[in-house]
Structure 1
Amino acid sequence: MKKIMFNDKYSLTQAVLDGRKTMTRRIIKCPRTFRGEWVAGFNIHIRHSDKKIVDWPCMYDADEREFDMGEILPKYELGEVVAIAQSYMDVDRFYRKGKNAAYLEYLDSILPELKLYPGWTNKMFVRADLMPHHIRITDIKIERLQNISDEDCFKEGIFKWDAGQKDIPFYSFHNADIPDYNDPRDAFAELIDKVSGKGTWESNPYVFVYEFELVD
């Protein structure tokens, strides 16, 4: 089983667990080499039918010739169940709070060992099979980052509030430097720069867009 990480500083993991975040965008990264040859970039192929369908990116060489089998595939597949990464310490707290006797017995048996590993406080190093929560991938698409719709901004965890002015809605995300944005896309642009690095929104990269549902 694979795992997926969401940012904790801006409460995105909790937003997933609360069902408020049901979508995530991951930047498509092109490898430097493919089968020993230098990769210059990738193309996005679009075919038209009843609706526009975007295929996976295909890498090309310095002469702009596309590689056979040179697709950049998404990390997660449609229908795949993926573990939500949390630190072992957070997992331990979750089960003790819920008093899950069976899992507590299992955790207690391996706890001394887990505390010796970086995964106790850093979820980057945890095992997927020890995670208590999972999502199922329900849709995958490719688009430019700035093509996000208002609806998708809300699926990404942006929320609306009135700030005491019911006729003037504002938009924001948890722990934002500015609590009130006039547009959900402005709020998301700031969030993605916080999560993926300053300038991410402006660079407008291609992204894999994963929509998902919380399983447990």
Structure 2
Amino acid sequence: MKIRPSNTMKPILFNTEMVRATLDNRKTVTRRVVKPHNTRKAKRCEYLQGEGLWFDDEINEFDKDTHIKDYSISSCWIGTEIYIQKYASYRPGDILYVRETWQYAYDLDGNEQPIEETGRYFYAADYDSGPFGFWVNPDGTHRENMPWRPSIHMPREAARIFLRVTDVRVERLQDITDEQAEKEGCSDYTSTALGFFYVWDAAFKPKDRALYGWEANPWVWVIEFERISREEAEHEQNKN
């Protein structure tokens, strides 16, 4: 069964280090936690991350597919490709634009008024500190540095990184290999797979690590991608 891409360009959130690794062509895969799809049923079935999902890697002779059982959906086995098609946020062939920490700012004239034609987007990944020594708020008050806007609020028109999803699969977090860790942009440790522990846990608030941290070993979506240009992304979207 072939998984068809959607015809809508989708956003995906990357933190600053992920953006830098992608821009440096060091990151070509990302992992996202597989969370219960029906939280009410998951609670009723005492679904726990890492306990409520089962994977059968034997190929079924009938449908030539591996199978998954997700107790937040049903106690029945479902083909992996069908599971990805119905429940994964991203599927092979999808076109994504990366939302990153950003700001839109202007240069100021001698009277500290914005110069309209200088308005442009800035990205936190490009700077160790803000690009301006000081910032004038809309009410005229000053602050020392430019405030960054969170990635979740970045409009599509501000995107500079576009991706094509090439593969999606499901696995346990700790199944990551050194090769895969390097594709995640992690290359500063003797064993990159072990070093990925720090990269992964840093993305979660301390209160969430018991459920989604490295030690919890959650099931994750493994999303492989290739970087494409804005023109390619828009062409792919129009073609679909």
TM-score normalised by L of structure 2? 0.58
Select which of 142, 145, 157 maps to 2:173.
Answer: 145
Q: Match of 1:6?
A: 14
Cα pair distance change 1:37/1:154, threshold 3 Å = closer
Q: Match of 2:70?
A: 58
Q: Match of 1:18?
A: 24
**Which residue identity is paired with 2:75?**
R
**Preserved CA contact (<8 Å) 2:121 2:158:** no
Confirm or deny that 1:85 pairs with 2:99. Answer: yes
Query: Matches of 1:68 and 1:147 in 2, distance apart?
Result: 22
SS of 2:221's equivalent in the other structure is: strand
Cα pair distance change 1:131/1:194, threshold 3 Å = same
Cα pair distance change 1:7/1:37, threshold 3 Å = closer
**Preserved CA contact (<8 Å) 2:69 2:77:** no
Residue ranges of structure 2 left out of the alignment (5+ in a row)? 1-8, 105-119, 127-137, 139-146, 230-240
Select which of 33, 39, 43 maps to 1:32.
Answer: 39
TM-score normalised by L of structure 1? 0.64
Select which of 177, 184, 188 maps to 2:192.
Answer: 184
SS of 1:196's equivalent in the other structure is: coil
Query: Matches of 2:12 and 2:72 in 1, distance apart?
Result: 29
Identity over aligned residues, as a percent? 27
Pairwise CA RMSD: 3.6
Instruction: Say which one has the larger Rg.
Output: 2
Cα pair distance change 1:78/1:57, threshold 3 Å = farther
SS of 1:33's equivalent in the other structure is: helix
Q: Match of 1:177?
A: none
Cα pair distance change 1:49/1:55, threshold 3 Å = closer
Bigger fraction of residues in strand: 1
Residue ranges of structure 1 left out of the alignment (5+ in a row)? 98-111, 113-118, 160-171, 173-180
Residues 1-216 of structure 1: pairs in structure 2 closer than 5 A: 1-8=9-16, 11-30=17-36, 31-33=38-40, 38-39=44-45, 40=47, 41-48=52-59, 54-55=66-67, 57-60=69-72, 65-66=75-76, 71=83, 73-89=87-103, 92-93=121-122, 121-159=149-187, 172=188, 181-197=189-205, 198=209, 200-216=213-229
**Which residue identity is paired with 2:200?**
I
**Preserved CA contact (<8 Å) 1:57 1:73:** no
**Preserved CA contact (<8 Å) 2:68 2:78:** no
**Which residue identity is paired with 2:196?**
F
Deviation at 1:66, TM superposition (A): 3.6
**Which residue identity is paired with 2:228?**
V
Deviations for 1:160-209, whole angstroms, at most 9, x for unmatched residues? Answer: xxxxxxxxxxxx2xxxxxxxx33112211121111135451111111110
Question: What number of residue pairs does the alignment pair up?
Answer: 168
Deviation at 1:55, TM superposition (A): 4.2
Deviates more, 1:38-47 or 1:125-134: 38-47
Cα pair distance change 1:73/1:12, threshold 3 Å = same
